[in-house]
Each structure stands twice: as C-alpha cells, then as structure tokens.
C-alpha cells in the first residue's frame, strides 16, 4: 500500500516522517514548501512534482493543508490529486476545515468512486513530532476500521465520532474550548497581577484544582515568558472560529463566547499579531491595561 501525502507544513512534515518510520512507502508534495518536501524525501519518501503525481501513485491520500478551499484546490483544482486517484482509493483529510465542506468533498469524491474520512487532529506540533496526536474521525465504521492503523502511527488516540463531517464538528468543539480557556487564563492572570499577586503564585496555586487544565499548563508559562512563538497561530484559530460561526448558523446554535473570542483575535490580527501563538490572546489584555505579565 502506497500513501500519498499533500501538505508538509508545521503538522504534515512530522506526521509524514512518522509514517515513514512506521515502514510505509510514501509519495509527498507541497507546492509552496519545497524545502519541507526535500526534508521528508531525505527521510525516505519519494518527492513528487505535483499533486496529480501523488494521486496517480497513491492508494491512500492524506491531505494536511490549512482550510476548506485549500483541500478543494489540492483535490479538485488544476493540479487536483482526485483527477489521478484510482477508483477505490481513500482520502484521509487531516486538515481542520468546515464540516459542511467535508460533506461536499466526500460527495464529489464519491462520484469518482473514491472514499473519504475526515480526520482532524488536536495536539499541535510537539504531539505531531511524538506521534501522539488525538484524531477525531468522521466516516463509515468499516472504512474507519480499515484505515485506523495508519492514523495510529501518527496519534495515540483515534476516535470515530460519527459520519463524514463529525470529525470536523468535534474539532470545532475542541477549538471553542481551547480559545475560551486561553482567554480565561489571560484574563485571570492580568487581574491577579493588577491586584498585586504574582502570576507565578496564581499558576502554582490553582493549576492542581478545578481551574487547572492542559491549556493552562501549556499556555500560562508562555504568557509569563512573553513567548508567543507558534505553536498554533492566531490566524489559524480565526479560521477555525469562522468555521464555528458557519456551522452554528447552519444548526441554529448559540455561540456568544465564540463571537467574543473571534472579536479579540481579529483585533490581534489587525495589530499584526496573526502569526503569534494563540497564547497571544494575553496581548489583548496587555494592550487594554498597559501592563506586561511577568513571573
């Protein structure tokens, strides 16, 4: 079985390397990141000159690109891999995109006799490198059972959440919780420092209690260090929250917290912080108060 891999960015590059380590034969492409293609080829993959070349040789095609239009372009654009994929092939789209788009893409692929699972991930670059990502999958049970072993080479948790689109619905739920949690940490630390308590003391005192979280453990130290190196960029989180808005409209679900997060992140984007890690939500509070969070 040959695996095609399109999109070798922050996440795709280490994920592809883990598949090579696991013994799979890979053919890879990323038209905008030739250095990453060279690096993954040096690790043992075949470098393709185009997405169509990847499609022509792959039994399984993994896509790991930013958003819905990028997945559509990679599959159905001028150099679309779906044009050369054989009938019976499967697309495992690991990108975080709109669940509505996932269902549209599945329908287009089905016309060509190609199957699909949407399998977005949580965990970020460190877990992509360690092969301990959490996969949220949407699709048919039989397909899931067949291709789960591939995902398990890149992740430590692989959960089928429902039919196609359910993976990305779950990912959007994840992104709401993460955004609100980061903002809550930033808001609390700012209040604490202004009220005269050292942020480090607040972190040490509350991280083991009910307020503690994986988000707090990962992001509070970054905030106190003023380290906003991504990680997960504000601009990608804006993309996810816009997908939450579209999905919420479609199912009439209230999202006041998501709307607030989106406003805060858009202000940061406007001020040139879109490429910062999402822990830079702290900067929103720093701008308003004039303080700089310290240890």
Considering the complex, state which of residue 188 and residue 261 has its C-beta at the smaller distance from ligand NAD.
261
Please, which residue, 136 or 188, has the CB nearer to ligand NAD?
136
Q: By the criterion CB under 6 A, which residues form the site for ligand NAD?
A: 6-12, 29-33, 51, 64-66, 70, 73-74, 95-96, 121-122, 124-125, 231-232, 236
Residue 171 annotated to the active site: yes
**Of residues 91 and 236, the one with the C-beta less far from ligand NAD:** 236
Minimum distance from residue 286 beta carbon to ligand NAD (Å): 23
Q: Which is nearer to ligand NAD, 84 or 96 (CB)?
A: 96
Contact 275, 234 (CB under 8 A): yes
Residue nearest to ligand NAD (CB): 9
Residue with token string 């949690």? 181
Nearest-angstrom CA–CA distance, 194 and 232: 28
Among candidate residues 17, 72, 171, 219, the one labeled active-site is 171
Cβ within 8 Å of residue 133, ≥6 positions away = 15, 121, 122, 123, 127, 154, 155, 156, 157
Min CB(102)–ligand NAD separation in Å: 12
Is residue 270 packed enough to be buried (19+ CB in 10 Å), middle (13-18) or exposed (0-12)?
Answer: exposed
- Least distance in Å: CB of 48 to ligand NAD? 10
Looking up tokens 């509350």 gives: 206
* Residue 188 three-state SS: helix
Give the active site residues.
Answer: 171
């Amino acid at each position: 079985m040959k695996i095609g891999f399109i999109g070798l960015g922050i996440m795709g590059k280490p994920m592809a390397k883990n598949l090579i380590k696991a013994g799979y034969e890979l053919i890879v492409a990323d038209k905008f990141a030739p250095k990453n293609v060279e690096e993954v080829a040096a690790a043992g993959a075949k470098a393709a000159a185009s997405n169509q070349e990847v499609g022509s040789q792959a039994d399984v095609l993994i896509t790991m690109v930013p958003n819905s239009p990028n997945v559509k372009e990679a599959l159905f654009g001028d150099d679309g891999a779906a044009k050369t994929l054989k009938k019976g092939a499967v697309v495992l789209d690991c990108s975080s995109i709109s669940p509505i788009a996932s269902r549209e893409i599945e329908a287009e692929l089905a016309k060509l006799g190609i199957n699909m699972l949407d399998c977005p991930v949580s965990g970020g670059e460190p877990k992509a490198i360690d092969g301990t990502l959490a996969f949220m999958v949407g699709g048919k049970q039989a397909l899931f059972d067949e291709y789960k072993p591939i995902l398990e080479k890149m992740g430590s948790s692989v959960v089928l959440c429902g039919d196609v689109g359910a993976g990305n619905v779950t990912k959007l739920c994840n992104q709401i919780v993460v955004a609100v949690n980061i903002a809550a940490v930033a808001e609390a630390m700012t209040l604490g420092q202004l009220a005269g308590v050292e942020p480090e003391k607040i972190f040490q005192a509350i991280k083991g209690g009910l307020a503690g979280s994986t988000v707090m453990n990962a992001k509070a130290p970054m905030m106190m260090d003023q380290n906003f190196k991504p990680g997960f960029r504000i601009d990608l989180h804006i993309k996810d929250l816009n997908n939450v808005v579209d999905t919420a409209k479609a199912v009439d679900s209230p999202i006041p917290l998501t709307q607030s997060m989106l406003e805060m992140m858009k202000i940061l984007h406007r001020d040139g912080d879109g490429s910062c890690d999402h822990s830079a939500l702290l900067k929103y509070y720093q701008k308003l108060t004039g303080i700089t969070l310290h240890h």
